[in-house]
Amino acid sequence: MDEAQVMDLARDGVYTLIAVSTPIMLVGLVVGVVIALVQALTQIQE
């Protein structure tokens, strides 16, 4: 393997990692925002 092949393999690995982890991270972000909103709204009503 020469240097170009190693770089291509590394780049493909990073793209795959991003493609797999992005949906999981977005779900976590949405859940966190929803929980924060629910907590803020219930605190206002008390």
Query: What would the 3-class secondary structure string for 1-46 be?
Result: CCHHHHHHHHHHHHHHHHHHHHHHHHHHHHHHHHHHHHHHHHHHHC
Q: What is the pTM of this model?
A: 0.67
Q: Is 2 left (phi over 0), alpha (psi -120 to 50) or beta?
A: beta
Distance CA 18, CA 5 (A): 20
- Range of the structural domain that residue 43 is part of: 1-46
Domain count for the chain, please give it: 1
Distance CA 2, CA 25 (A): 34
**Per residue in 2-37, pLDDT tens?**
999 999 999 999 999 999 999 999 999 999 999 999
